[in-house]
């Protein structure tokens, strides 16, 4: 048996559990690794035994064949794990620490990191600013949907949980700190959500639900979630959100019904991204729909938070423009209404410590909100298929069975 196993992308619609090399303190050649990163030495890294690692909608974009991800890429950027070995350059992180891993890989040394813009670190990806584990065009860092993974710049990147026993009791909440909870929260923050705000969140997948939880934490008076998936809308309603089924109701009409006026919302969040569909029953893909709708229904002077993923290369785009990430946006409307836009990766380290404290203090139950469902590594391919079919769940892989919560998938 191999010393390590992980989930590999094997072409559109296909993932497999494969044998992997055990991680060490060097970045080796492999699928998606930038040649300039091959042989990169990692004395500042830690090797983690993965405790939980989650399936993300961003992973699903790749698995659908909607990016330029190479076959063989090891997936997974949402990682929580136990440190089992540290490199000679690691000073503070120790063997046995239980830690959350921000999905952004950052060095802590460049000007962007020093300005808390860890999502666009300048030193970890030769392709462009910003990097992540197991993701296309992100430098080639091996993904964490595996039994073991290496984390560079460990003293900087790892968020150590203060009490191991307490952390394991709340592990399904804490596993969301690596990405979707900070990402959803960032969407709400960048949309300007505050006490008394009204906010419309497009998309009731895990990030949209996390944005809704974030908006509630920030004091929103009305959190309204739109989607076409009845199960996901029901999940949003289960923790106090208003909902709009955009397959049967126009978002603007739905907002008027809920709010009692046609002035629109204070804040808008796009938790859908580039695979958006139009509104109405059986609507086809129309990637600019969500952004144009948000510009229409957000009040003048408002803001849009855009944590939904947009890519520069989409082989499955509906036209040549969409294949390179060019969309038909109503920028004139946005300009006329003086709207603000914030997009890009979430700078996880800006938020994760405070959100960890909220979880540990029982101020939020993010796992319940997104229906966290624990599975084994071997069941990950089946979970990808269920998630792609619209399951209203957040699948959490437990590669070593340490949580004792894994469910067999039918």
pLDDT in tens, 62-84: 999 999 999 999 999 999 999 99
By CB atoms closer than 10 A (0-12, 13-18, 19+), residue 118 is: buried
Q: Whose structure tokens read 């802590």? A: 108
Beta-strand runs (E) in 1-117: 4-9, 15-20, 26-27, 40-41, 46-54, 78-86, 98-101
Structure token pair of residue 29? 């050649």
**pLDDT surpassing 90 at residue 2:** no
Q: How many other C-beta atoms can be found within 10 angstroms of the C-beta atom of residue 122?
A: 16
**Chain segment 352-375, per-residue pLDDT in tens:** 999 999 999 999 999 999 999 999
Looking at the structure, tell me whether residues 326 and 391 fall in a common domain.
no
User: How far, in Å, CA of 108 to CA of 105, rounded?
Assistant: 9
User: How far, in Å, CA of 321 to CA of 281, rounded?
Assistant: 25
Asked if 146 and 74 count as a contact pair (C-beta separation under 8 A), the reply is: yes
Q: Based on the structure, what is the number of domains in the chain?
A: 2
By CB atoms closer than 10 A (0-12, 13-18, 19+), residue 129 is: middle
| Helix, coil or strand: residue 304 | strand
**pLDDT surpassing 70 at residue 44:** yes
User: How far, in Å, CA of 109 to CA of 123, rounded?
Assistant: 8
What does the chain come to in residues? 410
**pLDDT surpassing 60 at residue 265:** yes
Structure token pair of residue 40? 């990169």
Asked if 266 and 198 count as a contact pair (C-beta separation under 8 A), the reply is: yes
Looking at the structure, tell me whether residues 278 and 223 fall in a common domain.
yes
Residue 100 belongs to domain with CATH number: 3.90.180.10
Domain boundary among 343, 365, 380: 343
By CB atoms closer than 10 A (0-12, 13-18, 19+), residue 123 is: middle
Judge whether 261 lies within some domain.
yes
Domain boundary among 316, 343, 370: 343
Looking at the structure, tell me whether residues 157 and 206 fall in a common domain.
no
Mean pLDDT of 37-64: 97
Query: pLDDT at position 409, please?
Result: 86
Mean pLDDT of 330-336: 96
Judge whether 188 lies within some domain.
yes
Looking at the structure, tell me whether residues 168 and 189 fall in a common domain.
no
Which residues sit opposite 83 in a β-bridge? Answer: 48
Looking at the structure, tell me whether residues 302 and 255 fall in a common domain.
yes
Judge whether 94 lies within some domain.
yes
Looking at the structure, tell me whether residues 241 and 302 fall in a common domain.
yes
User: How far, in Å, CA of 80 to CA of 174, rounded?
Assistant: 8
**pLDDT surpassing 80 at residue 133:** yes
Q: Whose structure tokens read 């792609």? A: 388
**Chain segment 211-255, per-residue pLDDT in tens:** 999 999 999 999 999 999 999 999 999 999 999 999 999 999 999
**pLDDT surpassing 80 at residue 147:** yes
Mean pLDDT of 141-146: 98
Mean pLDDT of 119-144: 96
Mean pLDDT of 41-49: 98
Looking at the structure, tell me whether residues 283 and 199 fall in a common domain.
yes
SS in 3 state form for 206-273? HHHHHHHHHHHHCCCCEEEEEECCHHHHHHHHCCCCEEEECCCCCHHHHHHHHHCCCCCEEEEEECCC
Could you report how far apart the first and last alpha carbons of the chain are, in Å? 26
Asked if 242 and 209 count as a contact pair (C-beta separation under 8 A), the reply is: no
Domain hosting 254: range is 183-343
Looking at the structure, tell me whether residues 278 and 196 fall in a common domain.
yes
Judge whether 50 lies within some domain.
yes
Q: How far is CA 334 from CA 191, 338, 377, in A?
A: 14, 6, 45
Domain boundary among 314, 343, 372: 343
Asked if 6 and 17 count as a contact pair (C-beta separation under 8 A), the reply is: yes
Judge whether 299 lies within some domain.
yes
Query: pLDDT at position 1, please?
Result: 47
Query: pLDDT at position 107, please?
Result: 98
Looking at the structure, tell me whether residues 151 and 245 fall in a common domain.
no
Looking at the structure, tell me whether residues 302 and 355 fall in a common domain.
no
What is the enclosing helix (H) or strand (E) of 360? helix 352-360
Q: ∠ at Cα 254 (253, 260), nearest 5°?
A: 85
Judge whether 402 lies within some domain.
no
Judge whether 409 lies within some domain.
no
**What is the maximum span of the chain, computed from C-alpha positions, in angstroms?**
63
Judge whether 367 lies within some domain.
yes
Looking at the structure, tell me whether residues 203 and 298 fall in a common domain.
yes
Query: pLDDT at position 316, please?
Result: 92
Q: What residue spans of 65-117 are helical by DSSP H? A: 111-114
Nearest to 210 by CA among 305, 134, 350, 140: 305
Asked if 175 and 372 count as a contact pair (C-beta separation under 8 A), the reply is: yes
Nearest to 255 by CA among 207, 301, 334, 202: 202
Mean pLDDT of 129-157: 97
What is the distance of C-alpha 191 from the center of its chain? 17
Share of the chain above pLDDT 70, in %: 100
Asked if 72 and 22 count as a contact pair (C-beta separation under 8 A), the reply is: no
User: How far, in Å, CA of 186 to CA of 205, rounded?
Assistant: 16
Phi, psi of 59 (to 5 degrees): -60, -40
Residue 270 belongs to domain with CATH number: 3.40.50.720
| Helix, coil or strand: residue 115 | coil
Looking at the structure, tell me whether residues 274 and 362 fall in a common domain.
no
Mean pLDDT of 311-330: 92
């Amino acid at each position: 048996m191999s010393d390590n196993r992980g989930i590999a992308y094997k072409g559109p619609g296909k993932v497999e559990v494969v044998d992997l090399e055990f991680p060490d303190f060097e970045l080796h050649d492999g699928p998606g690794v930038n040649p300039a990163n091959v042989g990169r030495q990692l004395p500042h890294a830690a090797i983690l035994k993965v405790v939980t690692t989650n399936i993300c909608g961003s992973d699903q974009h790749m698995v659908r064949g909607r990016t330029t991800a190479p076959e063989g890429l090891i997936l997974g950027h949402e990682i929580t794990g136990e440190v089992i070995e540290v490199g000679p350059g690691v000073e503070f992180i120790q063997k046995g620490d239980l830690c959350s891993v921000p999905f952004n890989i950052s060095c802590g040394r460049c000007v962007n990191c020093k300005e808390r813009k860890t999502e666009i670190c300048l030193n970890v990806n030769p392709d462009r600013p910003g990097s992540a584990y197991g993701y296309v065009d992100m430098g080639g860092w091996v993904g964490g949907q595996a039994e073991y993974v290496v984390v560079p710049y460990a003293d900087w990147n790892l968020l150590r949980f203060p009490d191991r026993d307490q952390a394991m009791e709340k592990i399904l909440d804490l596993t969301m700190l690596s990405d979707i909870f900070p990402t959803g929260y960032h969407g709400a923050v960048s949309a300007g959500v505050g006490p008394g705000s009204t906010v419309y969140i497009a998309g009731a997948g895990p990030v949209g639900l996390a944005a809704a939880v974030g908006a509630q934490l920030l004091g929103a008076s009305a959190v309204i979630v739109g989607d076409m998936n009845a199960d996901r809308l029901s999940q949003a309603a289960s923790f106090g959100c208003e909902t709009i089924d955009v397959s049967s109701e126009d978002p603007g009409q739905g907002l008027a019904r809920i709010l009692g006026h046609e002035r629109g919302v204070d804040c808008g969040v796009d938790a859908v991204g580039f695979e958006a569909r139009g509104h109405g029953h059986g609507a086809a893909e129309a990637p600019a729909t969500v952004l144009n709708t948000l510009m229409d229904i957000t009040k003048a002077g408002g803001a849009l938070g855009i944590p939904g993923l947009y890519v520069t290369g989409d082989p499955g785009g509906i036209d040549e423009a969409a294949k390179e990430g060019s969309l038909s946006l109503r920028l004139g409307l946005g300009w006329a209404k003086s709207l603000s836009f914030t997009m890009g990766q979430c700078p996880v380290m800006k938020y994760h410590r405070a959100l960890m404290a909220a979880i540990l203090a029982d101020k939020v139950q993010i796992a319940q909100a997104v229906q966290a469902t624990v599975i084994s590594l071997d069941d990950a391919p089946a979970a990808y298929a269920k998630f792609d079919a619209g399951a209203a769940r957040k699948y959490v892989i437990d590669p070593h069975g340490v949580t004792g919560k894994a469910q067999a998938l039918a």
